[in-house]
Structure 1
Amino acid sequence: MTEVVSGGGAEFARVKLRTTIRRYRAGVGLTQKDAAEELGWSVSKLLRLEQGTSPITPSDMRALMSLYRETDPEVVAEQVEIAKQAREQTTYEAFSDIATREYQELMGLEMRAKVIYKYEPSVIPGLFQTEDYARNLSRALELGPERIERQVEMRMMRQANVLESPSRPELNFILGEPALSRKVGTNEVMLEQLNHLLELAKEGDITLSMLPLASGPHPRMGTAFTIFQFDDDLPDTLYLEGADIETVSIDKPEEVQIHRKLFAELHEKADDFPSFEDEVEEIRRYRFSRPERPTD
C-alpha cells in the first residue's frame, strides 16, 4: 500500500493526484478536449479532476492510466490506491466550516513539505502564533465567541502537526515589520508573542527575518505567499493569501520561480538591517514594554 496518508493526509494525496494526471496527459501530447473525447467525458469533468475540485474515483483513475498508456500494473495499482486515499477524510475536515478547501490543503501540505518559504507582511504567521495572540486576532476580525475558539483550536492543532513532528520541514520565514509591531491584544500578549518568536529563532531548522518598512516598496507588499518544496516527485507549490484575494494555489513553474526570486530579494533586503533578534528586541522595548493607558 502506498504511504501517502502518513504525513499530509488526503490533502497531499489530492495534490499529488492532480499533478500526476496533468503530467501524464502532457506526456502523451493530448489536450484536455482530446482526452475527454477519448474517455467519453465532458471537458468540464476532466478540468475539475485536474484542478482538484472533484474527487477521482478508482475507476476514473484506471481509465486515465489506460488512456495515458501506463501499462505497469504496480504503477496503476499505486495510483488507484492514492485515488482511494484522496477520497478519505482530510486532516482538517472537522474545521471545514471555518477553513476553505484551499486553506485545508495548505495546512495538509505543511506536514509533508521538506522546506517552506513564507513571506508574511501583516500578522504573525499561524504556525508561530501564541494561543492568546490567535484568540485576540480572531476577536479583532469580529468573529463570534464559538468561532473564535474553533479558530484557536485549529491553529493549535496545526502547530502541533507541524512543529512537533519528528520530520518537520525546514522553515524560512520573512515577516514584515507591521507583523511584529502591530498590537494584537494587550502589551502582555505581544510580549509573550515576541518572546515566543525569539525562542523559535534559536532552533536550527527555523530561520526568521524581519523586513523593515525602511526597506522600501516591493512587489506583493500586501500579499502573503508560501512556497512548498517536497522530497517527493511533487513540484514546488505556491500559495497566495491577501486581503483582496482568497487563498489560492499555483503550481505553474514560472510563477513559482518568480516568487522564489522575490523571496531571495526580500531576504537580501532584510539582511541589510540589524538581526531579527535585535529588531524584535527594539520593538519589545519601545512599543510594548511601557505601561498601558487605562481604558474606560
Structure 2
Amino acid sequence: MSFTGSPRVLKRRIASELTRMRLELGWSQAHVAHLMSSSEGRIANLEGQRNLPKPEFLEKLLRIYGHADETEHYLSLLEEAKGNKAAWENIDLTAEPVGLDDYLGLERGASKIEGYESRLVPGLLQTHDYARDVIRGRQRSDSNLDQKIELRTRRQEILTRSEQPVRSWMIVEEQVLDRPVGSSETMRAQLEHLMELGKLDNVQLQVCPTSLGSHPALTAPFTIFHVPIPNDPGLVSVETRIKTIWFDDQAEVDQHVEILNHLRTLALSPEQSHALLGTKRKEYQ
C-alpha cells in the first residue's frame, strides 16, 4: 500500500506527526517555541499546515522531540511535500510494502479512523493468521511475508495503547464474514477477535446485512482519517491494487462522512452486529 495523494497530504502528515510528538511529551506550543528560540506562532503555523518547516528547523525540532534518528526520513518527506507531483509517481511499486510505513505513521497520528469495507476485514482489525492468508493471496511468493504481517498487525496497537487510543468506527458488509480466508480455525479466531475489539470503548463495529440490498456506499470501500489538527477536515483513502488514492478537500471528505453517517442508520447496531459475529463464529467450528 502506498501513502500519498498530493503534496498537501504529505504536508499534513508532517504537521500531524510533529503535533503527535509534542503531545506525547506533554508540551505546549509555547514551551516548544522557547526551546527552539522561536515564536509560538511559528510552531502553530507549522502544526496548522500553514507553513512547511525549513530543513534546519525540522532537524532541530526532531532532536528536541527525541526523534533525531528519523531525521533523514522526515527530510525526505519534506522534499516530497515541496513537489508538484503525487509521490507515487516516483515510487518503485515492485519494492513491497511500498510506503506502508508512511501509512502507519498517519494512523498513529490520527484521532479517529472510520470507514466502510465490502471485501475483507479491515487491515486495522485483522489477526496475524488472517493477515498472512490475505497477503499470500495477493502475491506470488513469500518474499518479506513475515515483515509485511508484522507491519500490518502492529497497527492495532493504536487501538489498545494506554494513552489516547485511536477511536475507530468501521462498517463491514456481511459477506466479509462469509468469505473464507484461510482455515476454519483462522476464520473463527478472526471473528472472535472482532467480537473482543467491539467491546473496547473506543471501537465501534457494525455489520451491513446482505439483505439490505443496494446502498450509497457500494461504489467502493473507503477509510476516513481524522487528525488532531484544529479545523482540519481529515482525509479519505481509497485503496486500489497498486496505490492508495487520497482525497483531502473539505467537500470530498464531507461527502464520504455523509455516506458513512447514512450507512450507520442502515446497518445492524453494534449490539446486533456482535450477536451476528457470534452466530457466524459457530459456523467455523
Deviating runs (4+, > 4 A) in structure 1?
16-19, 76-79, 81-87
1:193 deviates by: 0.7
Corresponding residue to 1:89 among 52, 67, 73: 73
Please tell me the residue identity of whatever aligns with 1:89: H
User: 1:118 corresponds to which residue?
Assistant: 115
In structure 2, what is the Cα distance between the partners aligned to 1:174 and 1:105?
A: 24
Give the conservation status (yes or no) of the 8 Å contact 1:111–1:168.
no
Task: Note the 1:158-177 alignment, pairs <5 A.
Answer: 158-164=155-161, 166-177=163-174
SS of the equivalent of 2:180 reads: coil
User: 1:69 corresponds to which residue?
Assistant: none
> For residues 273 and 154 of structure 1, do their structure 2 counterparts lie closer, same or farther at Cα, with a shift above 3 Å needed?
closer
Task: Note the 1:176-255 alignment, pairs <5 A.
Answer: 176-221=173-218, 223-233=220-230, 234-242=232-240, 246-255=243-252
Bigger shift: residues 174-183 or 104-113: 104-113
Give the conservation status (yes or no) of the 8 Å contact 1:17–1:83.
no
User: 1:64 corresponds to which residue?
Assistant: none
1:179 deviates by: 1.6
In structure 1, what is the Cα distance between the partners aligned to 2:274 and 2:254?
A: 29
Please tell me the residue identity of whatever aligns with 1:265: H
Q: With structure 1 as the length reference, what TM-score do the two structures score? A: 0.65
1:249 deviates by: 1.2
In structure 1, what is the Cα distance between the partners aligned to 2:101 and 2:9?
A: 10
1:88 deviates by: 3.6
Please tell me the residue identity of whatever aligns with 2:229: D
Is 1:14 aligned to residue 11 of structure 2? yes
Give the conservation status (yes or no) of the 8 Å contact 1:110–1:162.
no
Higher relative contact order (CA 8 A, sep 6+): 2
Gaps of 5+ in 2: 1-7, 17-37, 47-51, 63-69, 78-92
SS of the equivalent of 2:53 reads: helix
Q: With structure 2 as the length reference, what TM-score do the two structures score? A: 0.67
1:87 deviates by: 6.2
> For residues 201 and 274 of structure 1, do their structure 2 counterparts lie closer, same or farther at Cα, with a shift above 3 Å needed?
closer
1:219 deviates by: 3.5
In structure 1, what is the Cα distance between the partners aligned to 2:41 and 2:10?
A: 15
In structure 2, what is the Cα distance between the partners aligned to 1:162 and 1:12?
A: 23
Corresponding residue to 1:145 among 138, 142, 149: 142
1:75 deviates by: 3.7
In structure 1, what is the Cα distance between the partners aligned to 2:215 and 2:190?
A: 27
Task: Note the 1:24-39 alignment, pairs <5 A.
Answer: none
SS of the equivalent of 1:89 reads: helix
1:185-235 Cα offsets, whole Å, 9 max, x none, are 110110011111111111111001001111111234252211112232333
Larger Rg: 1
In structure 2, what is the Cα distance between the partners aligned to 1:126 and 1:163?
A: 15
> For residues 165 and 238 of structure 1, do their structure 2 counterparts lie closer, same or farther at Cα, with a shift above 3 Å needed?
farther
In structure 2, what is the Cα distance between the partners aligned to 1:141 and 1:154?
A: 16
Give the conservation status (yes or no) of the 8 Å contact 2:205–2:270.
no
User: 1:288 corresponds to which residue?
Assistant: 284
User: 2:125 corresponds to which residue?
Assistant: 128
In structure 2, what is the Cα distance between the partners aligned to 1:142 and 1:282?
A: 32
In structure 2, what is the Cα distance between the partners aligned to 1:261 and 1:173?
A: 14
The alignment of Structure 1 onto Structure 2 pairs a total of residues equal to 220
Of all paired residues, the percent bearing the same amino acid is 27
